[in-house]
Amino acid sequence: MKVSLFTPGRFDVPLRMLSELPEGLLDCRAEELLAVLGGPTLIHLSAARESSLFVSVLLHGNETSGWDGLRRYLADQPELSRGMTIFIGNVAAASQGLRVLPDQPDFNRIWNGATGAGGALAQAVRSAIADRSLFAAVDLHNNTGHNPYYAVVTDLQPENLGLAYLFSDKAVYVREPDTVLTREFARRCPAITLEVGPVGDARCEQRVYDYLNRAMELDAVPTATPAEFNLFRALGRVHVRRGIDFSFADDELDTPLVLTGGVEAINFHELAAGSRFGTTTLGIDAVLNVLDVDHRDVTAEFFEIDGDEILLKRSVVPAMYTTDPYVVRQDCLCYFMDRMDAESG
């Protein structure tokens, strides 16, 4: 059946709903989805096993590996082994290769208490799946910087960890922001976010493909314990203060904040207390800002100044440290984590 979905003038509809794949959809690159779908879309594909795997892609429009891995997986399946409910998120931003358009909310920050267009979209998805039996939920993202690939869990339930372990032996436990899709879904079914690696790396798409293949064949969601993982806990997000000019050591520029380049290479490796993080001609509070999981300013717990050097006051494990100035401005410079032992929670 041919479906014409793009109805000009219907941009006010928060969510389009389909029960089959529109013809040719799997041939579309992420940039082309807006023209076919017209907006955020939920597609429910039925199978003998009804309880469906919820797969979300393109909540961030420029993170295309999820869609590319998913469409290749679907193209290879003459018949699905269980139902799949697909949420294709920010196709408008995807059409321009952007994470989010300037007038839009971040689609992965709308899942708790959002108002306006973002709240309406989240509510529409919630209503659409209210009566569905969900096997598990997997939200697919690319990340920035050189990181190992890893899963993100919003709580440490054995099933969430089991889903994560299918992907990697590394996982990050994140309590903030509390507006992400995975947190919303974790109340209903085992749910994780996968950070599959940087956009443009072909291995990312393959990881998605392999993961979906594994997850769709499961009879039951496996369980795992923290002891089986390299499990990290997010302590805070490191931001460069708004309006502060910054550069990285390799740039050899004379800015008020110079960040030690090369830290990108040690994402997920511990930096000892006393490690040099950068230099500044201004005070630490003028250039950097660390917010903990409760949005408190905890900069002083992590950094101290020695002359013009910014040093780490305690040991941390950085993640998603990026040298992309756009990401630093739009999101953050990096996360600080620590390693969780088996007992802590």
Applying CB under 5 A, does 147 fall inside the site for Zn ion?
Answer: no
End-to-end Cα distance, the chain: 51
- CB of 62 or CB of 206, closer to Zn ion: 62
Q: What are phi and psi of 73, to 5 degrees?
A: -60, -50
For 314-317, the CB contacts below 8 A with 24+ separation are: 314/273, 315/270, 315/271, 315/272, 315/273, 316/235, 316/270, 316/271, 317/232, 317/268, 317/269, 317/270, 317/271
Only one residue has tokens 């290479």, namely 265
Applying CB under 5 A, does 60 fall inside the site for Zn ion?
Answer: yes
Instruction: Please say whether the beta carbons of 122 and 110 come within 8 A.
Output: yes
Least spacing, CB of residue 124 vs Zn ion, in Å: 20
The residue within the footprint of Zn ion, chosen from 16, 141, 183, 207 (CB under 5 A), is 141
Burial code (b: 16+ CB inside 10 Å, e: under 16) for 205-225 equals bbbbbebbeebbebeebeebe
Stretch that binds Zn ion, among 61-69, 89-97, 169-177, 335-343 (CB under 5 A): 61-69
CA distances from 123 to 19, 111, 115, 181 (A): 19, 8, 10, 12
Least spacing, CB of residue 190 vs Zn ion, in Å: 20
The contact mask relative to Zn ion for 208-227 (x = CB under 5 A, - = no) is --------------------
Output Rg (C-alpha) for the chain, integer angstroms.
Answer: 21
- CB of 16 or CB of 60, closer to Zn ion: 60
Least spacing, CB of residue 99 vs Zn ion, in Å: 7
Q: Which amino acid belongs to residue 318?
A: P
- CB of 62 or CB of 77, closer to Zn ion: 62
Applying CB under 5 A, does 150 fall inside the site for Zn ion?
Answer: no
- CB of 63 or CB of 205, closer to Zn ion: 63
Q: 128: which 2 tokens? A: 């659409």
Least spacing, CB of residue 243 vs Zn ion, in Å: 25
- CB of 38 or CB of 197, closer to Zn ion: 197
Least spacing, CB of residue 196 vs Zn ion, in Å: 10
- CB of 141 or CB of 183, closer to Zn ion: 141
Count residues binding Zn ion (CB under 5 A): 3
How many residues does the structure list for the chain?
345
- CB of 41 or CB of 64, closer to Zn ion: 64
Least spacing, CB of residue 17 vs Zn ion, in Å: 23
Q: Name the site residues for Zn ion (rule: CB under 5 A).
A: 60, 63, 141
